[in-house]
Amino acid sequence: MPPEMDEIPLSDDVLREILLRVPPLPTQLIRAGAVCRRWRRIAAEPGFLRRYRAHHGEPPLLGFFVNPRGREPLFRATLDAPDRVPPERFSLRLHDDTELGGNWYYHGCRHGRLLLLNWKSGLGCRQILIWDPVSGDLIHLSPPPQLDALKGVFFQATVICAATTAAGDHVHGDNCKSNPFKVVLVGTDRSTAFAFVYSSETGDWGDHAAETPVGNCISLGCRCIQIGDFLYWMLFGYDNNILEFNLVNHSLSVVYVPTHIHEDHDGLYPITLQEGTELGLIVMSRSCMQIWQWMIDFDGLPGWLPLEPIYLDNLLHLSAGECVNPTKVLGFSQDYNELFVASSARIFMVNLESLRFKELCKMDEFLDSPDSRPIYAVYPIASFYDADSSSSSA
């Protein structure tokens, strides 16, 4: 560049286009704004921030939440310094916020919102909490009145953003925090599955529950995945199948899984494949991870296709001591195709496409004593985060 070009000042519009391309990690835009007052002014403009988030689309994967029994929900970051979000920034002190008693359980995290249920033995679900960890906003919901007749049913739940395009695709970016949301509660009394839907637009649960027979089902898995207008949970019992909920017509159905697929399994986990467009199922056997894909063949018949197995003991270089107990799948980030798995000693993040992995933390960080219950699930969170101005409930 000729020397005289350095003396040509950039207009604010050109500078906005440059800053628009700064990576959407927690400290990157702040560091750019620290160059001078002019850069800081532009980087803080509400209009620019809306464009910035819309430009990048997918928010960064910040970390995951875990809910150890008898302790406050905890956050662990997945990013490295300086973009690593400290746990205290995402602290939710539930004992200061409610006098309900009972226990709070995480049941889902999607589009930057987390959902927790307050559950008390004999009384069932007593309250639902929607939490935005970045802003600290809390929304309290009463459960649907129909649950009074289903006190013995333990429900799973998820929260989803209700914003979609004309083509039915989800709208990412800043819209998730300002657009309406839905909460879906699903449960089973061992023979029938139930589903209730709350809409923030109408402020109620509707008049009717969806139902479908599920055979001899003992429980529902806590992990929920979304593919377009469908939500999926595992059904555990004499037959292990997958429960499907249609968000358009509010109907339930069952995706059947042949017994030979999961004989002598050490864990079953629904996931998404093909960039989030296809249903998949992970079947764990010790440290071997066999993935099955749900497909429709050329004759229009549905079926399960096995993919190449992944041996996590070799991939993660696990020690002999870490392989004494079966490796567990703790969570799945659909947007980033990242799987959270745990040996008896460590938690890892594994990309299902590249098979690159990263050690995140030690399992003993979540144990108060040798009698503490192990961690069975984590809830990844992807969200735009301004480390300089974001608030929390801490």
The distance between the two most distant Cα atoms of the chain, rounded to a whole number of Å, is 79
- 5, part of any domain: no
Same domain, 208 and 346: yes
pLDDT digits (tens, 9 = 90+) for 338-373: 999 999 889 999 999 999 999 999 888 877 655 556
Same domain, 43 and 100: no
Most confident among 1-5, 20-24, 124-128 (mean pLDDT): 20-24
Same domain, 178 and 241: yes
- 2, part of any domain: no
Same domain, 204 and 70: yes
pLDDT over 90 for what percent of the chain?
A: 34
Same domain, 301 and 212: yes
Same domain, 29 and 73: no
- 1, part of any domain: no
pLDDT at 1 over 70: no
- 166, part of any domain: yes
pLDDT at 100 over 80: no
- 204, part of any domain: yes
pLDDT digits (tens, 9 = 90+) for 251-282: 999 999 998 888 888 889 999 998 888 999 99
Residue 314 CA: distances (Å) to CA of 273, 319, 370: 23, 9, 28
- Structural domain including 108 reads 57-387
Per-residue confidence band for 392, with pLDDT thresholds at 50, 70 and 90: very low
Same domain, 295 and 336: yes
Q: What is the mean pLDDT of the chain?
A: 83
| pLDDT score of 390 | 53
pLDDT at 309 over 80: yes
Backbone phi and psi for residue 68, each to the nearest 5 degrees, phi listed first:
-60, 145
Cα–Cα distance, 373 to 364 (Å, whole number):
11
Per-residue confidence band for 166, with pLDDT thresholds at 50, 70 and 90: very low
Cα–Cα distance, 101 to 216 (Å, whole number):
32
Same domain, 134 and 264: yes
Q: Which of 57, 113, 133 is nearest to 387 (CA)?
A: 133
pLDDT digits (tens, 9 = 90+) for 215-237: 888 888 888 999 999 999 999 98
Same domain, 36 and 121: no
The residue written with tokens 């008693």 in the block is 101
Q: Which of 88, 87, 135 is nearest to 114 (CA)?
A: 135
Tokens of 94: 């539930």
Same domain, 176 and 88: yes
Helices 12-19 and 46-56: angle between axes, nearest 10 degrees: 40
| pLDDT score of 242 | 95
- 392, part of any domain: no
Same domain, 271 and 284: yes
pLDDT digits (tens, 9 = 90+) for 179-213: 789 999 998 888 889 999 999 998 999 878 888 98
| pLDDT score of 4 | 46
- 394, part of any domain: no
The residue written with tokens 């894909």 in the block is 293
- 393, part of any domain: no
| pLDDT score of 95 | 57
Same domain, 218 and 298: yes
Quickly list H helices, 122-208. 175-178
Residue 368 identity (one-letter amino acid): D
Say which CATH number the domain at 102 has.
2.120.10
Domain count across the chain: 2
